Amino acid sequence: MHVSVNGVQLFFDVEGAQLVPDGPAMREKPTLLLLHGGPGVDHTTYKPRFSQLADIAQVVYLDHRGCGRSDRGSRERWNLGQWGDDVWAFCNAVGITRPIVLGTSFGGMVALAYATRHPEHPGRLILISTEAAGGSHIAERVALFEKLGGPEVGALARRRFYGGELDEALLDEWVRLAFPVYTRRPRDQAFVQRAILRPDVHIWFMRTGGEGLNFDFFPVLSRIQCPTLVLGGEDDPMIPIACQEEIAGALPRELARCERFPGCGHGVIADAPEQAMAVIREFIAS
């Protein structure tokens, strides 16, 4: 399905009804809006794992502008402010109020942009393996990639994080050599094969001098008004666990909950599906 949002057509998909029979009445389930990582991939990275939550929430998948089945738009509007505003406008267009917004990695950055620009709108936030400021903890990232992937992956990480190299050739090499190191459990290769890849969107965002290396939400995190669950893997080389702890530490104590997952890498769900899903399920239902 597509909907017109801020000058582009955004693709979305839905699992589960919002209203379900409950005795003599209809019960309304909360809406869980999933914001995918990348940028440059699509919502399919959440399928089929998150389908299991359709019993307690209406699950909505969204492709960001420039990504997946959504319109590309102009690259000058491939930025966190626009992506965050798109989330707010999308919800208004389809009638979603007080959503539970879940973002993983880049999706978490978009969730932070949305929640700090429209703090009255979200009901809850779930942030997985994400960061509130780009370009931090570079030495720790490189060291973890080398520890987990060996000298070849470590050298590649140095080229990317210290040397500022990022083009399609390096990105192809990154997917081949570094991406398998993101998680401790091997990923099903169909995970990548199913996705619609837009490498130019990723390169634009993460280019030298680009927003992906320079954004900083810490001065505005205090605007967030809703309960926020932050999850991170202790062995995440791409966005180290310190990044998640810093987010939780910058939020009001009564709103923030941070869960660390030992032996887990980027995204958490791939390495600890039962434990992570149990925490998310409890947070949605509480």
**Domain extent listing, the chain:** 2-134+214-285
For 2-134+214-285, CATH number out of 3.90.600.10, 3.40.50.1820, 3.40.1160.10, 3.60.40.10 equals 3.40.50.1820
User: Residue 232: CB partners within 8 Å, gap ≥ 6?
Assistant: 128, 129, 239, 241, 243, 244, 245, 258, 259, 260, 261, 268
- The pLDDT tens digits of the residues spanning 265-274 come to 999 999 999 9
Q: What is the pTM of this model?
A: 0.97
The pLDDT score that the predictor gives to residue 263 is: 96
- pLDDT over threshold 80, residue 189: no
Mean pLDDT of the region 200-215: 95
Using the structure block, give the residue that is written with the tokens 């001065």: 219
Q: pLDDT, tens digit, for every residue of 137-165? A: 999 999 999 999 999 999 999 999 998 88
What is the pLDDT of the chain when averaged over all its residues? 96
Question: What H or E segment, with its residue span, contains residue 144?
Answer: helix 138-149
* 97 — pLDDT class (breaks 50, 70, 90): very high
Q: Is the pLDDT of residue 69 over 80?
A: yes
In angstroms, the CA 218 to CA 229 distance is 17
pLDDT of residue 79: 98
Q: What is the pLDDT of residue 188?
A: 78
What is the arithmetic mean of pLDDT over 101-114?
A: 98
pLDDT of 49 strictly over 80? yes
Confidence of residue 257 (pLDDT cuts 50, 70, 90): very high
The predicted-structure confidence for 77-86, as pLDDT tens digits, reads as follows 999 999 999 9
What's the pLDDT score for residue 42?
97
Pairing between β-strand 256-261 and β-strand 8-15 as defined by DSSP bridges: unpaired
Phi first, then psi: give them for residue 14, nearest 5 degrees: -135, 135
Which H, E and C letters describe 203-250, residue by residue?
A: HHHHCCCCHHHHCECHHHHHHCCCCEEEEEECCCCCCCHHHHHHHHHH
